[in-house]
Structure 1
Amino acid sequence: MRNFIIIFLIVFLSACSTKNALNYEPNKNFKDENETFRLEKKWYKLYNQNQLNELVEEVLKNNIDFKIASLNLARAYENAGLISADLFPTLSAGADFTTNRDISTNDNFRKKYQAKVEINYEVDLLGKILSRKYASDWLATADEFDLQSLKLTLINSAVSGYFKEIYLNEALNFTERNIKSYEKLNEIINIKVAYGKSEPLELKQTENALLNLQNKKLSLISQLKNNELFLRNLLGNDSEFLTPVSQIENIKFLGVDMSAPYIALSNRPDLRAAISRINVSFYDYRVSQLEFFPNVSLGASLSSNDEKFKDAFKLNFFSGNVSINLPFLYYSRLKSRLRISQIDFKINVKKYEKALSEAVNEVRNLYEIYEISLNNLQNLKKNYENAAKIAEIYNAKYDAGRAELKDYLEADTAAIDAKISLISQYYTVLETENKIYRSMSAKFYKK
């Protein structure tokens, strides 16, 4: 009979054993494989904007989503520590007091004192508990990278919101200046129409242009309100956002080194989080594999039992036990769990491939947009310089009595329109280069 049981166990364990079908070696750590560049993760400080630095610090300190992510990370590390404790023996102790009497004989109450100290340990022969620990460690690592990714997003959002606030306030000021010019122009044309020097059509055109400017002003005010709401939500409070004192054109571009190789994307925390989750699913798969094998537990205890309290803690009796849990009745369930963990692994691999593809496409697209934005900025600079020069010429002609005020005002409003387009494009370049820093997880410099 004993030989039959041994043969049966050998056959069963052979059937249960499953080769590592994943063909995957977990990444042990992360490092920057590119040695020709240095990284600046606090690139926003290079703009030398004290208000911006304070804004970013306040966002990282008070943002609700960032606080929640930090708590999730703390919980993940606590959970990893809890699973690590399973690698060590579990010690327990207790004492018990009972009293009883035989009521059929009317005996006196008999007291009994008991004390016991136990130690239990599950022998991790095949590394199942260790694999479970590795899975929990990598899950905590993934949460840490998620936190870093959120930090990058918050920094980029704060920087973008700050620059947008500057641009919108400047655009609003220039638009109000244009409105005043058109109001003067409208008065002049009104007088001309009254004296028959101009047609009513010209008056209607001017009035229509004035209405368009007033609508543009309202739109800019609305955008400012929305941007300030966005910044307050980032800050996690309802405090008023102080208007930046800088002008958008006084902020120097930091520039983008487009020679940074795509291998630098390995620094992106979202990609590292995706790899970490692949590692989690790999070790979960290992645990599912090892669930087929017996669990061996060892136990030992010291105990005592006496009617006297002082003798109850002598712990004179020693006992030990070995227990083996065989998963005979759970084969189909364990097999399903194994398949599920294998599918989870494949899903996480696909998620990583998707994240990597999107990251590469994002950076490539941002590089192209950045170059286009710079070229567009140069054209708009020339356009503004020409418009400003034309306005200056008409101003001189008006002062010399060789041009009407109407001509100068039209030239001046055209120059202001060109200026608004210029600062709008300046903001676009700033926003794009910051998107590149976020997508690369830092600003790259050649060493």
Structure 2
Amino acid sequence: MSICKKAMRCVPASRSLLLGVAVISLSACQTIRDLGPDATIIDSKAEIPVQPDWVEPAPDALPSTDWVADFNSKELSLLVDTALEQNTTIGQSLAQLDGALSRIRTSRADLMPNLNFGSTITRSSGGNDFNTDSTSYSLGLNSGWEVDLFGRLRDQVRAAEMGAAASSADLAAARLSIAGQVGQSWFNAIQGDLLVDLSRRDIETQERALRLTQRRFDNGLAGSSDVRLARSSVANAEAVLATRLQNRDVTIRGLKVLLRQYPDSVMDIPNDFPELPVLTGAANPAYLLQKRPDILAAERRIAEAGLNVDVARKSLYPQLNLSGSLTEQALSSANDFDILDLFDLKGIAQRLTAQLTAPLFQGGRIKAQIDGQEAVLRQRVESYVGTVLTAYQEVENALDAEERLAEREDALRESLYEAQKAEERLESRYIEGLATILQLLDAQSRRLNAEGQLIGARAERLNNRVRMNVAIGGGEYGAEVPATDIESDEGLIGKLLSSNQG
């Protein structure tokens, strides 16, 4: 696999992605062509296996673009919308995009001539009584322009454009990440509240067992050790409640921070999880690589790095600079100055020069700059490969967990059912004096453990569904900001995205 190709040189990519027999070819980024002599051509072909057990959607069942709405939770949708508008991380990414767009305007300005205005006033005083004071006045316009002979300045503009396109994808990635974090935090908050409710119900159960034991002790049917065990169970349940209250409040505070709100622990939490949406299909590999914003950002940064290599190389070529000036001067004594003399066309001086320069000896500076930019390019390629592999890992993990967590939830439901029946039976037998307090406490512990694990399994299935949607690109939550919202005058980002997809 060749990552960077120039005239007669090829930089091979280490650790190629030949991972299987059935493969698809993905172009890592736009090929940079027609940018002048010795242009760096990036043609990264990552050969990625299509796993036979990959869950793919039917043609009419692509992943939902609004996966948050699929959870059918108005509270969650409102929280996500609030976070997308207020979150500080998204605000930082938006500011970074604004900075990238300003760099485009800066680089475009280098293609244009510059025009400067200047004026000077010089006063001379006579050295003796025979000389009079005099003042000279000068007004002038100076202009300069570098003729972009070999496309170096155009490459700088294109590099800035690709940097802005990468920042646009970074913003989309930040929005997707925050939407996912809000979703998981919300489900964790519901889990925390359900566990708190479970602990409170468990305390009631343990207190009821304590009353039964105390009554049996008062009637001489149980020993003091049974009473102490029952009291210990009540105290332990109270300790668990305190821990769960703390964990729930920590989760809610974290969610509040995502919403850019003061991190208190006050929030209305529903009394149950939303229904898990039906999984119609995940994405195939090609869909994944086209939609994940972090992959798109990595692609564009490869293109940006390739263009910066070209800019560094073209610093070796001659540069043609044109300059011109238009100057009007006037000289006056203290007695005869007329301001209109400055605008007398007869006094205008004009100058136009052309300067062709080429570096002869720079002490290896330009070569070092080229080497540095090529190193950045190799780094960006490795980063891209790592991003792709991480994307596949996240999807594979989510798909695998989807099946395993469903099996776990089914098993825990069965375990809870049996534990509840066993507890009911042992409580009746304990009242009848046919079971010991240890047997009853053990049954209660098993039921409590099964119910707590079931709550955790349900939360984890919801969280895993969020992770899956984030891993495959996040639908509308991973989409980039429309071009009209980024740069309405020219729609730059939209053009870049269209050319990238083409």
TM range (shorter): 0.7 to 0.9
Residues 84 and 175 in structure 2, CA contact (< 8 A), matched pair in contact too: yes
Report if the CA contact (8 A) 1:271-1:356 is conserved.
yes
Matching residue of 1:437? 469
Alpha-carbon offset, residue 389 of structure 1: 5.2
Matched, 1:334 2:363: no
Match of 2:146 in 1: 122
What TM-score comes out, normalization by structure 2 length? 0.75
- SS state at 1:330 partner: coil
**Cα separation, partners in 2 of 1:200 and 1:53, compared to 1, 3 Å:** same
Bigger drift between 76-85 and 20-29 goes to: 20-29
Q: Are the aligned partners of 2:250 and 2:265 in contact in 1 as well (CA < 8 Å)?
A: no
Which string of whole-angstrom CA distances, capped at 9 and with x for unpartnered residues, describes residues 224-281 of structure 1?
12112211221223164553443334x1112334452122222111111111111111
Q: Cα deviation per residue 1:73-125 (whole Å; 9 max; x = unaligned)?
A: 11111111111111111122222222223314642222222121222110101
> How far is the alpha carbon of 1:359 from its aligned partner?
1.4
CA contact (8 A) 2:193 2:269 kept: no
The residue correspondences of 1:254-403 to structure 2 (distance < 5 A) are 254-266=277-289, 267-307=291-331, 308-314=338-344, 316-330=348-362, 332-388=364-420
Residue 252 of structure 1 is matched in structure 2 by 275
Pairwise CA distance, 1:327: 1.0
Say which is worse superposed, 195-204 or 134-143, in terms of deviation: 195-204
User: Residues 81 and 241 of structure 1: is their aligned pair in 2 closer, same or farther, counting only changes over 3 Å?
Assistant: farther
The alpha-carbon distance between structure 1 residues 26 and 182, as it changes in their structure 2 partners (threshold 3 A), is closer
Q: From the superposition, tell whether residues 443 and 305 of structure 1 become closer, same or farther in structure 2 (CA, over 3 Å).
A: closer
CA positional deviation for 1:181: 1.1
Contact 1:164/1:227 (8 A) holds in 2: yes
- CA positional deviation for 1:288: 0.8
Displacement of 1:443: 5.3
User: Structure 1: how far apart are the matches of 2:206 and 2:265?
Assistant: 32
Looking at structure 2, the residues matched to 25 and 414 of structure 1 have their Cα atoms a distance apart, in angstroms, of 53
Assess if the C-alpha contact under 8 Å between 2:189 and 2:269 holds in 1.
no
1:151 corresponds to which of 175, 180, 185: 175
CA distance in 2, matches of 1:421, 1:346: 47
Q: Do the aligned partners of 1:51 and 1:244 also contact (CA within 8 Å) in 2?
A: no
Give the distance between the partners of 2:148 and 2:271, measured in 1 at CA.
65
The equivalences for 1:79-98 within 5 A come to: 79-98=103-122
Instruction: List aligned pairs for 1:162-173, cutoff 5 A.
Output: 162-173=186-197
Structure having the higher helix fraction is 1
Give the SS at the match of 1:328: coil
CA shift in 2, pair 1:52/1:28, >3 Å: farther
Q: CA deviation at 1:126?
A: 0.4
Deviation at 1:160, TM superposition (A): 1.0
Select the residue among 27, 31, 45 that pairs with 2:30. 27
Corresponding letter in the other structure for 1:429: R
Distance 1:143 1:69 in 2: 7
List per-residue Cα deviations over 1:196-243 (Å, max 9, x = no partner): 423455445434433332222122111112112211221223164553
Q: Does the CA-based 8 Å contact 2:62-2:283 persist in structure 1?
A: no
Aligned-partner Cα distance in 2 for 1:331–1:295: 19
Q: Given residue 380 of structure 1, which amino acid in structure 2 is its aligned partner?
A: L
Contact 1:248 1:427 in 2 (8 A): no
Distance in 2, Cα, partners of 1:167 & 1:197: 40
Q: Counterpart of 1:370 in structure 2: which amino acid? A: E
Cα distance change on mapping 1:173 and 1:403 into 2, 3 Å: farther
SS in 2 for 1:280: helix
Aligned to 2:248: 224
Q: Secondary structure at the match of 2:312?
A: helix
Query: Which one of the candidate residues 53, 68, 89 is aligned to 2:92?
Result: 68
Letter in 1 for 2:308: D
Could you tell me whether the CA contact under 8 Å between 1:120 and 1:298 is conserved in 2? Answer: yes
Contact 2:63 2:282 in 1 (8 A): no
Q: Residue in 2 aligned with 1:212? A: 236
Q: Aligned to 2:221, what secondary structure does the other structure show?
A: coil
| Per-residue deviation, residues 172-212 of structure 1 (Å, max 9, x unmatched) | 11211111111121222233245442345544543443333
Q: Is the 8 A contact 1:387 1:411 kept in 2?
A: yes
Distance 1:304 1:244, change over 3 A: same
SS of the residue aligned with 2:276? coil
C-alpha contact 1:93 1:117 (8 A) present in aligned 2:
yes
Tell me the distance in 1 between the aligned counterparts of 2:379 and 2:167.
Answer: 18
**Aligned residue identity for 1:278:** I
* Residues 443/413 of structure 1: CA separation in 2 closer, same or farther (3 Å cut): farther
- State whether residues 63 and 280 of structure 2, in contact with CA within 8 Å, keep that contact through their aligned partners in structure 1: no
Shift in CA distance, 87/40, structure 1 to aligned 2, threshold 3 Å:
farther
Matched, 1:182 2:206: yes
Residues 392-419 of structure 1 deviation map (CA, whole Å, 9 limit, x = unaligned)? 7789x79x99999989998677555533
Check the 8 A contact 1:181/1:409 in 2, yes or no.
no
**C-alpha distance in 1, partners of 2:421/2:364?**
84
When the two chains are superposed, the root-mean-square deviation of aligned CA atoms in Å is 3.2
| Mapped pair 1:44 → 2:68 | yes
Retained in 2: the 8 A contact 1:113–1:306? Answer: yes
Residues 63 and 475, structure 2, Cα contact 8 Å, conserved in 1: yes
In 2, the alpha carbon distance for the partners of 1:58 and 1:109 equals: 73
Deviation of residue 310 (structure 1)?
1.5
Residues 20, 336 of structure 1: CA spacing in aligned structure 2 closer, same or farther, 3 A cutoff? farther
The alpha-carbon deviation at position 39 of structure 1 amounts to 5.1
Secondary structure of the residue aligned to 1:248 is: coil
Aligned pair in 2 of structure 1 residues 417, 235: CA closer, same or farther (>3 Å)? same
SS at match of 2:362: helix
